[in-house]
Structure 1
Amino acid sequence: MNGPIAHLSRRYRFSASHRLHVDAISPEQNREMFGKCNNPFGHGHNYIAQVTFSGPVDVATGMVTNLADLDSFAQRELLEHFDHANLNSLEFFRDRVPSTENVCVELWRMFAEYPYAKLERVRVEETGNNSFDYFGEGAKIQHEE
């Protein structure tokens, strides 16, 4: 018999730079659309990615998933690629602007492959004022009260 379903959230920190720029529009349009985030030399953030999983609480361990397994997965899939990287140079963003919204979508794609629990949400904090959530393709918008 499966135990009760619980949610687990885990946070990972990484530092990366990016430039918000669309080649298909003029330099003036890019500056107007992205402002200082269109700096030709890029700019950096200390990101915090939070992933939330759900699953039955294992009767023997009392856990939704083994944190060592999750941390190992995050190290291999997220941190080895994103930490101290220029996001524009990563294959993930070859055809997409490396906005934090697109970072959320990419992290969803990565963490959806984690085999031991169900991914429910990815949140990426870009600054103290900006955070972005992604709940998967086709998810209804959820508002926090």
Structure 2
Amino acid sequence: MIYLTRVEHFNAAHKLSNPSWSKEENQNVFGKCANENWHGHNYELHVTVKGEPHPETGFVFNAKTLGTLINDVIIEKVDHRNLNVDVDFMAGKFTSAENFAIAIWEQLEKHLPAGATLHCIKLFETPKIYVEYFGGK
């Protein structure tokens, strides 16, 4: 089994806030992330696919094609957008890094061709904070 990872970058804003909580409760739990006027991140997205190299190309999946897929399915929808307001696949979801990684997986998984399987979504929200999602719930 071979693992191929493509790394992409984008910028997006969001706010972490539970609407059933008071402003003070949100501030206590989410701190600066509950800012009424949103806040942003310079995200780094690692998409890892796995499979066996194709006998005619030696590729599990063409890395350039994977980059185009990530750009078309994810980056174009999220870059310089507000995750809470502008991103269709985040509608009605809490915009934590955890939920965002799951949603990215769900979007990409249905676009992979036979022979390549999504293995991991690693999403860096900051250089010190990232989440990894390996599918399943």
Question: CA shift at 1:92, angstroms?
Answer: 2.5
Aligned to 2:75: 79
Aligned to 2:53: 57
Once the two structures are superposed, residues 68-92 of structure 1 have per-residue CA deviations (whole angstroms, 9 ceiling, x without a partner) of 3212211111011011111111232
Aligned to 1:11: 7
Q: Secondary structure at the match of 2:33?
A: helix
- Code of the residue aligned with 1:46 in structure 2: it is N
- Code of the residue aligned with 2:132 in structure 1: it is D
User: In structure 2, how many angstroms separate the alpha carbons of the residues matched to 1:10 and 1:21?
Assistant: 31
Match of 1:21 among 4, 17, 23: 17
User: In structure 2, how many angstroms separate the alpha carbons of the residues matched to 1:36 and 1:28?
Assistant: 12
Sequence identity of aligned pairs in percent? Answer: 34
Aligned to 1:143: none
Aligned to 1:136: 135
Question: CA shift at 1:103, angstroms?
Answer: 0.9
Distance 1:47 1:41, change over 3 A: same
Aligned to 2:100: 103
Calculate the aligned-residue CA RMSD, in Å.
1.2
User: In structure 2, how many angstroms separate the alpha carbons of the residues matched to 1:72 and 1:49?
Assistant: 14
Aligned to 1:115: 112
Structure 2 portions without partners, runs of 5+: none
- Structure 1 runs (4+) deviating above 6 angstroms are none
User: In structure 2, how many angstroms separate the alpha carbons of the residues matched to 1:66 and 1:101?
Assistant: 27
Structure 1 portions without partners, runs of 5+: 139-145
